[in-house]
Structure 1
Amino acid sequence: MKKDHKKERFISFPPNLLPAIFVERPNRFIVKCRLEKTGEMVEAHLADSGRLLELLIPGKLIYLRKVEDPKRKTKYSSVIVEREDGNGWVSLNAQLPNKLAVMAVQGKLIDSLKEWEYVRSEYTKGHSRWDLLLAHKDGRNMLVEVKGATLVKEGLGTFPDAVTARGTKHVLELAQIQKEDGWETAILFIAQRNDIMSLKPAYHIDPAFGEAMQKAEKAGVKLLGCRADVTLEGIEVTDEIEVGT
């Protein structure tokens, strides 16, 4: 039977997503929205701690899923939000990039990783836990740190959208591990929207992260990126994009 490669890199959203209008974000993990169908004001969990200032604008269309869990403080979770130009969607779940990264590696979407095999997620080495561990047939191992990107201007994506001391620390750690025998390292950016054509550090937001990226690149850390297509049905990792410093 012929494999459905699209299915192997596609994550479905729950059916019957509820359209709502974004009103405000009282804290990092909560958004207030007005359900389109009933007009009811509800609170929804937001699984992305980034600033998202360009996306979470009052009046924007956002889709929610209802959560039947009596232990949850909120009965809804945010799933996607309308793009700034109104011509598509952006995923609001910061947990999806790691899953999409595994799909990209296993689906051989990234040229420089085609000879590497996925071993496991959440691997501890040194002082940190890394998103992916890959292995090469020649015995080398590779650590991959995954970053989800949502910020874009005229096709150029940037990361981060808020200062990330933890992210900078990880980048510098990868540069050190890259020097060890038998180890390779990479940073893989997953664009959670299909209008990001290339990506670079957001120096205007976090210059320290940008400088760390430059050091990592000089040390030999691979800088990689993939783009995802987002619809009401789900999110699919589609192709590789260029990442520079």
Structure 2
Amino acid sequence: MTELLFKQNLIQAIFLRRVNRFILECELSSGEIVEVHLADPGRLKEILLPNVEIWLEKATNPNRKTKWTAVMCRVPGEEGYVSLNTLYPNQLVMKAFQMNALSEFDQWVYERAEFKVGASRFDFLLREKNGTRKMLVEVKSVTMVEDGVALFPDAVTARGTRHLSELQNLQKENVYETSVLFIVQRNDARKILPASHIDPQFSKAMKDAAHEGVSFYGRSCKINPNGITLRKAIPVYPLTH
């Protein structure tokens, strides 16, 4: 079990509104209205609804403009939680690779993070346990789920589309094995599909990459006010539009 524990006790608050991509306005239990940093630039329109319960972490840097950071919130209308920090998936995956805890990659071992190829930087480089092949792994954070179906992306991502095209070309050239690992930062997803109605270019790039041999994997997470845990593998269907 791969787990990240939060560094401090979280403070429960109420989400009021999103000021911009990275700033939220929330109400503390004392009634004080505070500005909160959001580390997820996605749309989050289905998640950040007025008056939803949200959990905050106090900033340790006294000079920081925003004194709070959003960590997670209640899934609207449900009992579960969803993470609001896109940094957690990479941290979880790195820990899992170092522990050899992902069965999807049991023939590979962790070599390094942030590996540069040409003008791009990929999240992880693995090497074959009993061979000479190398694998590039790109991690994507997923928060949008509809009726048990996780959808990515929740906003147009030119960067994500470019990454898929680059992985496709590297796979085609037989330089590296390549894969994408979707981390759903909540516990209510049964499968993962491309959100073609939001970003048809990413959806097409995902389909093209799969045809060329890029592998796609998915994992869900369990999250609560204590921390976030990487859970079971869930299927990805890159060819579904």
**8 A Cα contact 1:109 1:240, kept in partner:** no
| Aligned 1:141-180 pairs, distance under 5 A | 141-180=134-173
- 2:54 aligned with 1:62: yes
**8 A Cα contact 2:141 2:185, kept in partner:** yes
Which residue of the partner structure matches residue 199 of structure 1? 192
* Aligned residues: CA RMSD: 1.2
Amino acid at match of 1:98: N
2:202 match: secondary structure: helix
1:86 to 78, 82, 86: 78
| Aligned 1:177-192 pairs, distance under 5 A | 177-192=170-185
CA–CA distance in structure 2, aligned partners of residues 130 and 59 of structure 1: 37
For residues 107-132 of structure 1, what are the alpha-carbon distances to aligned partners after superposition, in whole Å with 9 as ceiling and x for unaligned? 44544311100111100002210000
Which residue of the partner structure matches residue 226 of structure 2? 233
- 2:115 aligned with 1:129: no
- Kindly state the Cα deviation for residue 99 of structure 1 after the two structures are TM-superposed: 1.2
Amino acid at match of 2:42: G
Amino acid at match of 2:23: I
2:235 match: secondary structure: strand
Amino acid at match of 1:187: V
Which residue of the partner structure matches residue 75 of structure 1? 67
1:105 to 79, 92, 97: 97
| Aligned 1:12-31 pairs, distance under 5 A | 12-31=5-24
Amino acid at match of 2:161: T
Runs of 5+ unmatched residues, structure 2: none
Percent identity over paired residues? 46
**8 A Cα contact 1:190 1:226, kept in partner:** yes
- Kindly state the Cα deviation for residue 182 of structure 1 after the two structures are TM-superposed: 4.6
Residues 175/116 of structure 1: CA separation in 2 closer, same or farther (3 Å cut): same
**8 A Cα contact 1:89 1:231, kept in partner:** yes
- 2:133 aligned with 1:140: yes
**8 A Cα contact 2:3 2:229, kept in partner:** yes
- 2:217 aligned with 1:224: yes
Amino acid at match of 1:67: A
**8 A Cα contact 2:9 2:226, kept in partner:** no
CA–CA distance in structure 2, aligned partners of residues 159 and 17 of structure 1: 28
1:101 match: secondary structure: helix
- Kindly state the Cα deviation for residue 15 of structure 1 after the two structures are TM-superposed: 2.9
- Kindly state the Cα deviation for residue 88 of structure 1 after the two structures are TM-superposed: 1.0
Aligned residue pairs total 237
**8 A Cα contact 2:100 2:109, kept in partner:** no
For residues 27-64 of structure 1, what are the alpha-carbon distances to aligned partners after superposition, in whole Å with 9 as ceiling and x for unaligned? 1000000002x110001100000010011111000000
For residues 183-213 of structure 1, what are the alpha-carbon distances to aligned partners after superposition, in whole Å with 9 as ceiling and x for unaligned? 1000110000011111010001001000000
2:162 match: secondary structure: helix
Amino acid at match of 1:113: F
Amino acid at match of 1:14: K
- Kindly state the Cα deviation for residue 179 of structure 1 after the two structures are TM-superposed: 2.0
- Kindly state the Cα deviation for residue 13 of structure 1 after the two structures are TM-superposed: 1.1
Q: TM-score, normalised by structure 2?
A: 0.95
CA–CA distance in structure 1, aligned partners of residues 196 and 235 of structure 2: 17
Which residue of the partner structure matches residue 39 of structure 2? 47
- Kindly state the Cα deviation for residue 135 of structure 1 after the two structures are TM-superposed: 0.5
